[in-house]
Amino acid sequence: MSDVRLGVHTRSFGALRSEPGVDSIQTLIDALRACDVHECALSATHVEAQFGTPHAGHHTAAKMSPQMMRRELRKWRLRTPASYYRAIGDRFRKAGVAIYAYSYGSDRSFTDQEIDYGFTAARALGADIVTASTTLDVAKRIAPIADRHRMVVALHGRSPGDDPNALGTPQSFAATLQMSKYFKVSLDVGQFTAASLDAAGYLREHHQTITTVLLNDRRRERRDDLPWGYGDTPIREILQLVKREAWPIRVYVAIDYASMNGPIDEVKKCLAYAAQALT
């Protein structure tokens, strides 16, 4: 058997829409168990899935502008107690699923209080690390907060764009790693491939700074996430490299494409693909 730590980033279940009166956390836990997954990176969007209904008072998401939603989300975050997250973490543990990382992307709209809140939530959930998709300028603001909490933040890139502050290149990762001893890299290999970068080469050279590898398949110079085997991402090579070198790096399915079979069956297919690649 492979010793590679396979898991799932819960963004892979983004198509599991929450409905009024439905326990969205239980829906997510059931999906992970259906896939026989025992550890995950938990997306903040799932933890905050009920935002816009009870947490937003009498407003509904349909009645609020994006600016109003953003203000209400900030207020909800800053007034939500740690016990809310501890209860969620307890439910995952009882289901046999470890939350290794709390995925909390911080952008320029975040106040320092909101950034700090992400660390509090992560600890209450029982996560070992925070992962964040962000930019260089925001990373500078995160660094002293990570130092204060003494908690690892694994940064990963965004889709290619024109923002000079965007993360996602070896040079930008090198710059952020100088900001804090708690900064590491969460390597999104599909994003690397879409930017025509060598994901396997970066992993080989910088494995000591990488906590997690996010597996998805894309074509070079294309943003679209594809079913595995239809893109240019060297998924098999990356899996074999982690296995051969016995690096303590988590490898998580992290897909974001529509499937007629639904996200649970699609995640199962990806996990089977990974298992076969590791034989």
The string of pLDDT tens digits covering residues 92-127 is: 999 999 999 999 988 899 999 999 999 999 999 999
CATH number of the domain at 53, please: 3.20.20.150
Banded model confidence at residue 164, pLDDT cuts 50, 70, 90: low
Are 42 and 105 spatial neighbours (Cβ–Cβ below 8 Å)? no
Using the structure block, give the residue that is written with the tokens 């499937």. Answer: 259
- Region 137-144: what's the mean pLDDT? 96
**Domain around 143:** 5-277
pLDDT above 70 covers what percent of the chain?
A: 90
Give the number of other CB atoms < 10 A from CB of residue 225. Answer: 20
CA atoms within 13 A on the CB side of 125: 29
Least confident of 24-28, 121-125, 177-181, 205-209: 24-28
pLDDT above 90 covers what percent of the chain?
A: 76
Which among 129, 106, 256 is positioned nearest to 185, based on CA atoms?
129
**Given a cut of 90, is residue 76 above it in pLDDT?**
yes
Q: Which two tokens stand for residue 182?
A: 């708690």
Higher-pLDDT residue of 100, 67: 100
What is the DSSP code (8-state) at residue 260? Answer: T
- The predicted pLDDT at position 182 comes to 98
Using the structure block, give the residue that is written with the tokens 């693909």. Answer: 273
**Given a cut of 80, is residue 20 above it in pLDDT?**
no
First to last CA, the chain: 8
Mean of per-residue pLDDT scores for the chain: 90
Give the sign of the dihedral formed by CA 51, CA 156, CA 182, CA 128.
positive
The 3-state DSSP class for residue 76 equals: helix
CA atoms within 13 A on the CB side of 54: 9
Amino acid letter at 168? Answer: G
**Given a cut of 50, is residue 23 above it in pLDDT?**
yes
Using the structure block, give the residue that is written with the tokens 């699923």. Answer: 97
Number of domains in the chain: 1
Amino acid letter at 215? Answer: L
- The predicted pLDDT at position 141 comes to 97
- Region 198-204: what's the mean pLDDT? 96
- Region 269-276: what's the mean pLDDT? 97
**Given a cut of 50, is residue 56 above it in pLDDT?**
no
The 3-state DSSP class for residue 117 equals: helix
Q: Which two tokens stand for residue 136?
A: 């260089």
